[in-house]
Amino acid sequence: MFQNFEVTARPEQGPPRLADLRGELDSADLDGFLIPRADAHQGEYVAPRDERLAWLTGFTGSAGFCVVLKGLAGVFVDGRYRTQVKAQVAAEFTPVPWPEIGLTDWLKEHLPEGGRIGYDPWLHAAGQIGKAQKGLKGSGIELVRCDNLVDRVWPDQPAPPMQPVKAHPLEFAGESADSKCARLAEGLRDKGHKAAVITLPDSIMWIANLRGADIARNPVAHGFAILHDDARVDLFMATAKLDEVREHLGDGVTQHEPGTFLDAVAALDGPVSVDLNTVPQIVADALGDTLRDGGDPCALPKARKNAAEIKGSAAAHLRDAAAVVELLAWLDDQTPGTVTETQVVTRLESERRKDNALRDISFDTIAGTGPNGAIMHYRVTEESDSLLQDGHMLVLDSGGQYLDGTTDITRTIAIGDVGDEEKACFTRVLRGMIAMSMLRWPAGLAGRDIECVARQPLWAAGQDFNHGVGHGVGAYLSVHEGPQRLARTSHVPFEPGMILSNEPGYYREGAFGIRVENLVVVEEAPSLPGGDAERAMLNWRTLTFVPIDRRLILPEMMAAEEIAWLNAYHRDVATKIGPWLGSAARMWLDAATRAL
């Protein structure tokens, strides 16, 4: 159902492509060009046609950008990708630690006399361009709208995705599209806004109860939408995608070809609400004075899962856990040094595909053994495929896209006899995950307020990790979903119904990696014995039920309440997952969930 091919560049392909791009700089009278990992819809994931960053540089991470100057090409990556980028790009590209070094500071350093930097206005959010222009003020450096220069030199660029769209059943959506539109239109009227422009693919899928197949691993379709204050929706999506959903869309949705979108935006009577963090600059320019920064109206309602979505997600997690446990039982029966990372990936996907409700995996499985585990978003290739050797730890991060829910789980697995240093690091990571799982907190707090709880055991040992503690997760939608996050940069308060990951880790470059991840849902905390709490409190309910490798735990490093939590969790795993398993996996699970 999903497109599943990649655009990549081997390191040796980068330099000639870079030279071709620099030739276009001269013809366009530019001193540089920005290449983001983005498309016109500003979602996290892009179709092969939009993998310009990977095609040019070879870097395949899910975030980052490149700035090509005439004598320098910087590839900006955050802490998750510092190890990965070194292996993927040629020497002609210079990795830049971002956000520690920002775009504007880097440009001012390397273009001290000023210059003209081109950018494709479809591929950069208005907020990004506004921030950059502010940072460049007085430098003599100018940001210039232009055609996409990469497209000019990419001879075999894939065609835009054109996959069919399907209706998402009401039993899983939990609310009709008409109801969602009416509810959000009321919010527009309350703000005095006449319309809202929606560009994020998962927001359009959510509000219209649709699911698509334009992006591998994510059930979304490319398009744009305008929600009016009377609940009407103008949907700008290719006619060929919508043949199966004409009746589903009903009278409230009017379909238009995407090529008419900008003219329709320019013709809107204001005020018009947009999310400056995601609306393309070219759309903001078309709106002009009618633009208001009102955010994506779908973001928070989509994040607050309703009862049907939570029920579906919980059910999907049980079936998904059974597939993972079957894989773990099989893996434990293999001799170290006889199984490769690719075999683990293939076997796990085959276990998941036994479930007829599976539509795809939710992202490319990460199976990194030994030093590969230290690459946070490692993806096995023919060249990197490694044997699981005695003494290794395997980081296995995977998930599924089911009709009733999206899953994401990481387990770190001992291969043979693992050293005490690795076990000590693992135990600290596990303690952080448990501490977050047990947390009760006052309503109104955001990720920035509580994410340190999962880091404290590592901090006490002078250790840390360069990614957030957790991200939002969709309901048969994107496995990474905002706006809520368990991260230092997140100001969005947690609300009941939000699903997030809880995934602290630790990575030692060239040696090993560790990550333990469960998905959790925010709930109102029950009253404490002896009386009501002074404030409304929230807590997590765990959705993921897969055993944690006891062989990697040093019990003497754990507090009694942490051991009690783990033992109770493993009892739940055995009770909930055991009935789904074959006899061999059930025997393995009984042993894997024994009390510490």
Q: Map residue 25 onto helix, strand or coil.
A: helix
Mean pLDDT estimate for the chain: 95
- For residue 509 the two structure tokens come to 């470059």
Does the pLDDT at position 3 exceed 50?
Answer: no
- For residue range 306-353, list pLDDT tens digits in order: 999 999 999 999 999 999 999 999 999 999 999 999 999 999 999 999
Q: Is residue 428 domain-resident? A: yes
Q: Map residue 264 onto helix, strand or coil.
A: helix
* Alpha carbon separation from 542 to 306, 459, 539 (Å, rounded): 17, 25, 10
Does the pLDDT at position 240 exceed 60?
Answer: yes
At position 104, the amino acid (one-letter code) is T
Q: Is residue 133 domain-resident? A: yes
Q: Give me the mean pLDDT over the 420-428 stretch.
A: 98
* Alpha carbon separation from 287 to 253, 265, 266, 292 (Å, rounded): 22, 6, 5, 9
Q: Is residue 239 domain-resident? A: yes
State the pLDDT at residue 533.
65
Between 80 and 364, the more confident residue is: 364
* Domain count for the chain: 3
- Domain shared by 337 and 238, yes or no: no
State the pLDDT at residue 119.
98
Q: Give me the mean pLDDT over the 246-275 stretch.
A: 96
Q: Cβ(511)–Cβ(372) under 8 Å? A: no
- Domain shared by 373 and 508, yes or no: yes
- CA 77/CA 454 separation, integer angstroms: 24
Tell me 435's DSSP state. Answer: H
Does the pLDDT at position 530 exceed 80?
Answer: no
Backbone Cα Rg of the chain: 24
- Domain shared by 501 and 396, yes or no: yes
Q: Give me the mean pLDDT over the 561-574 stretch.
A: 98
- For residue 111 the two structure tokens come to 């273009």
- Domain shared by 376 and 503, yes or no: yes
The range of the structural domain enclosing residue 293 comes to: 166-302
- Among residues 265, 281, 302, the one where a domain terminates is 302
Q: Cβ(359)–Cβ(1) under 8 Å? A: yes
Does the pLDDT at position 2 exceed 60?
Answer: no
- Place 374 in a pLDDT band, splitting at 50, 70 and 90: very high
Write out the DSSP string of 485-543.
EESTT--PBP-TT-EEEE--EEEETTTEEEE-BEEEEEEEPPPPTTS--SS-EEEEEE-
- For residue 527 the two structure tokens come to 């009253």
pLDDT > 70: percent of the chain? 98
User: Lowest mean pLDDT: which of 90-94, 212-216, 492-496, 527-531?
Assistant: 527-531
- Domain shared by 452 and 432, yes or no: yes
State the pLDDT at residue 549.
98
Tell me 78's DSSP state. Answer: -
- Domain shared by 207 and 268, yes or no: yes
- Place 1 in a pLDDT band, splitting at 50, 70 and 90: very low
- Domain shared by 16 and 93, yes or no: yes
- CA 472/CA 211 separation, integer angstroms: 19
CATH of the domain at 46: 3.40.350.10
- Domain shared by 68 and 204, yes or no: no
State the pLDDT at residue 180.
98
Q: Are strands 409-414 and 470-472 parallel, antiparallel or unpaired?
A: unpaired
- For residue range 97-123, list pLDDT tens digits in order: 999 999 999 999 999 999 999 999 999
